[in-house]
């Protein structure tokens, strides 16, 4: 069976529709909500499928009556307002989709984390055991103040599929552990991860994974590993000498050999590193001395080859993140505003649920075109 659903081209189009809807409603207080909706919907093809009048009416009425949630000071205040009687049904539920929102104090009682997920989506994907943790760091100058957004993705058919998001005030072991435990206890997610791909090796994240999933293999993304070594070399030698290294065939060759150690089996990396640094070239020794020292102390001794070797994990490294990137760009476009983010995320869960249904029913859809 083959059907083609017409989808909203982007979450930004959906957001523009909402903005036009609210502005016309506020500027035309004598018009009924239905009249306002019917006027605006004509400008946006395909929107009515996902945002019909039945869904818009209650939100529009609150806005017209002067009710709209204020920017909260903390993640806890945000969740209390979001889950209040006035807003819970409007901002976290539509048809059969319910976005669960939990804000929990971390185990060290030093920070809050807010976890967003769809229980039904997670239950559908319990038989998949390879995950990715993606982190977007924020210099947040709006309320509520937080440090980063964490996205949890699961590997399905050579593509990463997002299943949960978290806002984190701090990036401590306890904060990461709280996120993972919430997904496990509340949703039954990530019960037995086989592998977890991380973009870069962060000690607190790695230790939290060790505590929550002691049998899980952590895989450090190879491109990020290479960029990490480049950034370290730039810090040690400066951008000018880094660029000179890239133009020098011998020096760039040595650097490539160093980064490619991560492609070897874990038990071969230390010996290969020892052979690599055996050179009679004084200039190479001088230029890379500090980087070799960093590699030995950080990657070999602290991270360990078992954690950053990508040998045998090509399927994780090469998995497509195209759809996930489109979602991220739609979610995090423009200055961060928590209520705007909430509405965007709810729409994402609606699209994700339909994408999963299409996979299960073997229906082809255009997902986040």
Domain boundaries, the chain: 69-221+313-369, 223-309
Whether residue 111 has a cis bond before it, omega within 30° of 0:
no
Residue 94 has pLDDT above 70, yes or no: yes
pLDDT digits (tens, 9 = 90+) for 289-311: 999 999 999 899 988 888 888 89
Task: Return left, alpha or beta for 304; rule: phi > 0 is left, psi -120 to 50 is alpha, else beta.
Answer: left
The predicted pLDDT at position 340 comes to 79
The predicted pLDDT at position 363 comes to 39
The predicted pLDDT at position 85 comes to 84
Task: Give the whole-angstrom CA distance, residue 294 versus residue 233.
Answer: 10
Q: What average pLDDT score do residues 223-230 get?
A: 85
Tally DSSP H helices, then E strands, for the chain: 17, 9
pLDDT digits (tens, 9 = 90+) for 119-168: 989 998 999 999 999 988 876 667 687 888 999 999 988 888 899 999 99
Least trusted range by pLDDT, from 34-43, 176-185, 244-253, 323-332:
323-332
Task: Return left, alpha or beta for 183; rule: phi > 0 is left, psi -120 to 50 is alpha, else beta.
Answer: alpha
Q: What average pLDDT score do residues 8-21 get?
A: 68
Task: Give the whole-angstrom CA distance, residue 286 versus residue 254.
Answer: 13
Helices (H), the chain: 11-27, 33-41, 53-64, 75-82, 88-91, 119-124, 173-187, 203-212, 222-237, 239-247, 249-259, 266-276, 282-294, 305-308, 314-317, 322-331, 338-361
The predicted pLDDT at position 150 comes to 93
Mean pLDDT, rounded, of the chain: 83
Residues 6+ apart with CB under 8 A from 139: none
Provide the pLDDT confidence category of residue 268 given band limits of 50, 70 and 90. Answer: very high
Task: Give the whole-angstrom CA distance, residue 102 versus residue 168.
Answer: 12
pLDDT digits (tens, 9 = 90+) for 103-130: 999 999 999 999 999 998 999 899 999 9
Least trusted range by pLDDT, from 13-17, 35-39, 115-119:
13-17
Greater pLDDT, 54 or 284: 284
Task: Return left, alpha or beta for 224; rule: phi > 0 is left, psi -120 to 50 is alpha, else beta.
Answer: alpha
The predicted pLDDT at position 195 comes to 93
Residue 11 has pLDDT above 90, yes or no: no
């Amino acid at each position: 069976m083959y059907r083609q659903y017409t989808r909203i081209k982007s979450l930004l189009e959906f957001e523009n529709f909402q903005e036009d809807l609210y502005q016309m409603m506020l500027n035309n207080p004598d018009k009924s909500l239905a009249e306002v909706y019917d006027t605006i919907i004509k400008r946006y093809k395909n929107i009515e499928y996902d945002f019909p009048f039945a869904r818009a009416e209650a939100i529009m009425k609150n806005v017209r009556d002067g009710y709209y949630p204020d920017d909260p000071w903390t993640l806890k205040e945000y969740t209390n307002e979001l889950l209040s009687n006035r807003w819970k049904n409007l901002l976290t539920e539509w048809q059969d989709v319910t976005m669960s929102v939990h804000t929990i104090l971390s185990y060290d009682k030093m920070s809050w984390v807010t976890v967003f997920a769809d229980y039904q989506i997670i239950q559908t994907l319990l038989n998949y055991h390879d995950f990715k943790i993606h982190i977007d760091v924020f210099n947040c100058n709006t309320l509520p103040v937080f440090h980063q957004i964490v996205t949890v993705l699961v590997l399905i058919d050579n593509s990463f599929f997002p299943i949960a998001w978290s806002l984190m005030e701090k990036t401590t072991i306890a904060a990461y552990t709280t996120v993972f435990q919430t997904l496990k206890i509340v949703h039954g997610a990530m019960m037995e991860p086989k592998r977890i791909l991380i973009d870069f090796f962060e000690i607190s994240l790695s230790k939290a994974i060790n505590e929550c999933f002691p049998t899980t293999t952590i895989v450090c993304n190879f491109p990020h590993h290479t960029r990490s070594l480049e950034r370290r070399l730039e810090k040690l030698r400066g951008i000018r000498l880094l660029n000179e290294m890239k133009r020098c065939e011998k020096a760039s060759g040595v650097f490539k050999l160093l980064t490619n150690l991560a492609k070897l089996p874990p038990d071969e990396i230390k010996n290969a590193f020892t052979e690599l640094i055996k050179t009679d070239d004084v200039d190479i020794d001088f230029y890379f001395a500090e980087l070799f020292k960093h590699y030995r102390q950080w990657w070999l001794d602290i991270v360990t080859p078992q954690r950053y070797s990508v040998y045998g994990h090509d399927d994780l490294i090469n998995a497509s993140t195209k759809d996930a990137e489109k979602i991220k760009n739609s979610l995090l476009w423009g200055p961060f505003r928590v209520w705007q983010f909430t509405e965007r995320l709810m729409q994402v869960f609606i699209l994700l649920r339909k994408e999963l249904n299409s996979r299960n029913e073997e229906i082809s859809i255009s997902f986040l075109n």
